[in-house]
Structure 1
Amino acid sequence: MIDHQWHLSHTVLEVKPLGPLTAEDFQSLQAQVDPVISEHGRLSGLLINAQDFSGWESFAALVSHCRFVRDHHKHIHKIAVVSDEPLLGYMPRLVDHFVSAEVRPFSSVEFKRALAWLGEAG
């Protein structure tokens, strides 16, 4: 399951995985994101709160995740990854080659700083 919460007047979406991700999670997320992108043209930011990332429930879930990224990355200006997991700290450098958004890692104590960065113009 993916919990989500809007910040900064529906311009920044926080997503928080709660257990292994499923294909249905990305369908639900798309239903939340697409209307905002249609109305505003893009999201200012996506905050991935990955404190408890447990991976994917199945290969189909991983494929759904990849499709979601492929279909939406051009409509997201910045991505902040919040996690204390050392491996996830390297993720922004890896995905930076595949997405058009600017991606930065933040530790859990920097949550407010990550949200502020996502809200900055630029």
Structure 2
Amino acid sequence: MPLIYSEDDSTKTAMITVSGKITKEDYDSAIAPIEAFISKHGAINFIEVIESFSGFDPSIILPGLKFDFAHVKHISRVAVVSDIGWISPLAKAAGYFMATKLRMFDLAALDEAKEWVRSSA
């Protein structure tokens, strides 16, 4: 599965790992649990690990934007973890439009990313 979702109640941290192409089914399988996690905790932290990325189903663009607008105010910190070169500038540009604290990490620094995100708990 190209998208794996996990969560940690003790630190209010949700994590998605991406490997490959994201389908509509992958997206749908992660959104409901994330929304439930936000509802449960009010504010959460988020880690997105991008191991590899070969695109996404275009039908998730609009739902993804709606999710972002509705829930970004409930996400305190975001760590984006990837060695893919173009991910960092894209994530940093998106970060300028959000009140959420966003930081980039290399894959080798995943543990550091987890510590940074969870340090706000």
- Report the TM-score, using the length of structure 1 for normalisation: 0.85
Number of residues of Structure 1 aligned to a counterpart in Structure 2: 120
Question: Does 2:80 match 1:81?
Answer: yes
What stretches of structure 1 of length at least 5 have no aligned partner? none
Change (3 A) 1:46 1:120: same
Q: Runs (4+) of structure 1 moved beyond 3 Å?
A: none
Question: Does 2:65 match 1:66?
Answer: yes
**Alpha-carbon distance in 2 for matches of 1:121, 1:19:** 30
- Report the TM-score, using the length of structure 2 for normalisation: 0.86
**Alpha-carbon distance in 2 for matches of 1:52, 1:20:** 8
Deviates more, 1:72-81 or 1:31-40: 31-40
- Equivalent in the alignment of 1:106: 105
What stretches of structure 2 of length at least 5 have no aligned partner? none
**Alpha-carbon distance in 2 for matches of 1:46, 1:85:** 19
Percent identity between matched residues is 24
Structure 2 counterpart of 1:47, which letter?
I
Q: CA RMSD in A?
A: 1.9
Structure 2 counterpart of 1:74, which letter?
K
Question: Does 2:46 match 1:46?
Answer: yes
Asked if the contact 1:10–1:36 (Cα under 8 Å) also holds between the matched residues in 2, the reply is no
Aligned-partner SS, 1:80: strand
Deviates more, 1:31-40 or 1:7-16: 7-16
